[in-house]
Amino acid sequence: MDKWEMYMEIQQLIKKCFSKSKVAEKLGVSRSTVYRHLRRSPSEIAEWVESLQTRTEKLDPYKELILNWLGEHSDLSAAQVQDWLLEKYKDMKIGESIVRAYVRMLREEYHIAK
């Protein structure tokens, strides 16, 4: 469920008189997430969702390189991708979770099985 769908679902459940705790439980999110979505107006949510869609990823400049590596070695782990990036770009500072999420996204987008 994307952020806009989450916002809409929260709004609908609140209109159906579910408590905020029950909404959080039904959607599998924290109560603070429910409260955060309720504080935002629909226009704020729309702007926020649009900014998420146009935002570039930290690893986008290395996308083709990573895709080549995954194409050649489909069993390559995100940790190995990170190691190879750090070998090639000594000054790069990148967290493991960022690489893991980026590799997962590329695998889904380009249907690269592990």
What are the tokens at 18?
């579910």
For the entire predicted model, the pTM comes to 0.56
Token readout for 100 is 């893991």
pLDDT in tens, 12-61: 999 999 999 999 999 999 999 999 988 988 788 778 778 777 777 899 99
Q: Which two tokens stand for residue 7?
A: 């916002």
Question: What is the residue-averaged pLDDT of the chain?
Answer: 90
CA gyration radius, the chain? 19
**Which residue matches tokens 């996204």?**
105
Q: Is 2 within 8 Å of 43 (Cβ atoms)?
A: no
- What residue segments make up the domains of the chain, in order of their start? 3-54, 60-109
Enter the tokens of residue 91: 């000054």
Q: What is the dihedral of CA 26, 32, 34, 37, to 10 degrees?
A: -150
